[in-house]
Amino acid sequence: MAKTPPPFLSILIFLSLFTCLSESRLDLNYYSKSCPRFNDIMRDTITNKQITTPTTAAATLRLFFHDAILNGVDASVLISSTPFNKAERDADINLSLPGDAFDVVTRAKTALELSCPNTVSCADILAVATRDLVTMVGGPYYNVVLGRKDGRISKASTVDGNLPKPTMPMSQILEIFKNRNFTEQEMVALSGAHTIGFSHCKEFSSSIYNDTNHYNPRFVQGLQRACGDYQKNPTLSVFNDIMTPNKFDNLYYQNLPKGLGLLESDHGLNSDLRTQRFVDMYARDQNLFFRDFARAMEKLGVYGVKTGRGGEIRHRCDAIN
């Protein structure tokens, strides 16, 4: 007959199980006791940064996406390379991630470390900063559950093929999302992020010079003029949504059927039968877009997330402890 463990051992097992479970659960109020000023510090840092540098919102939203889609929001994209490791952020596609997005996370982390050391993960900071910045530029508010841990691995070699590129066929882009359990509709809703921010000319140069069919003729002429010098000046860039570039709204979808989309992948959403009806729906109904974008962002925020002992609380966001 199996022996029952002595009572003190049962209590120990119960306590360690309980700690493990409560450590690994994501929760809206995760920091309410351990870092009561978390929300205030985040809000102050983000407001200051966005007011002085209005490109921060789009920059951070893209950074969040590039972190999340690879192996969950674990701030692995924030880690700097070392002589022994080429990190994610030094993969080709990530070289254009804007410094201001990294900066807003660093600022929040510095302020939070002063108020509650070794408590708040960089992954949670990135998730909340993104939500607050999206809201600040007019987008929907959504809940961000907290308690993510930071990843300990960041390798440039894992990036290629896992992040969408504008020149990929739509099937390949859809596959990237499908592999992570995101539907075609969720992919279209998330792509509405291109309602803010900009793209460098090299990202769409082959379309505006060689394959102009999808563009409105006057728009493509304007793009050719704006990007004329892009090989000499690689910083040249154009707004993703030329109608309301700084406002989070559904104009991105309204632009697409008019030939006012920028990237080949943006046009692709409107020419592929699997995605076109969602472009149509979101172009007609901004509330629906906001609802679906918010839901998809909540889902992206918990996809593959690390909790408990699956990760760490980094001391600095750009280096593993």
Q: Under rule CB under 6 A, which residues in 95-124 are in contact with ligand HEM?
A: 96, 98
Q: Which of residues 155-194 bind ligand HEM (CB under 6 A)?
A: 164-166, 173, 190-191, 193-194
* Nearest Cα residue to 301 out of 41, 150, 126, 58: 126
Distance CA 156, CA 48 (A): 32
Q: Which is nearer to ligand HEM, 98 or 304 (CB)?
A: 98
How near is the Cβ of 87 to ligand HEM at its closest, in Å? Answer: 19
Per CB under 6 A, does 65 bind ligand HEM? Answer: yes
Q: How far apart are CA 122 and CA 318, in angstroms?
A: 9
Of all residues in the shown chain, the one whose CB is closest to ligand HEM is: 197
Query: Per rule CB under 6 A, is residue 62 in the interface with ligand HEM?
Result: yes
CB-based contact 296:189 (threshold 8 Å): yes
Of 147 and 197, nearer to ligand HEM (C-beta) is: 197
Question: What does the H/E/C string look like for 262-317?
Answer: CCHHHHHHHHCHHHHHHHHHHHHCHHHHHHHHHHHHHHHHHCCCCCHHHCECCCEC
23 is in an annotated binding site: no
Q: Binding residue per annotation — 67?
A: yes
Name which position in 152, 178, 200, 316 contacts ligand HEM (CB under 6 A): 200
Q: Which of 206, 184, 193, 203 is nearest to 272 (CA)?
A: 184
Among 73, 128, 129, 196, binds ligand HEM (CB under 6 A): 196
Smaller CB separation from ligand HEM, 122 or 196: 196
CA 205 – CA 265 distance, rounded (Å): 13
Binds ligand HEM by CB under 6 A, chosen from 41, 46, 59, 146: 59
Could you tell me the two tokens for 321? 């402890």
Give the chain's largest Cα–Cα span: 85
On whether 267 is known to bind a ligand per the annotation, the reply is: no
Catalytic positions, please? Answer: 66
Q: Is 61 in the site for ligand HEM (CB under 6 A)?
A: yes
Instruction: List contacts with ligand HEM (CB under 6 A).
Output: 58-59, 61-62, 65, 96, 98, 164-166, 173, 190-191, 193-194, 196-200, 203, 240, 263, 265
Could you tell me which residues are annotated as the binding site for Ca(2+)? 67, 72, 74, 76, 88, 195, 241, 244, 249
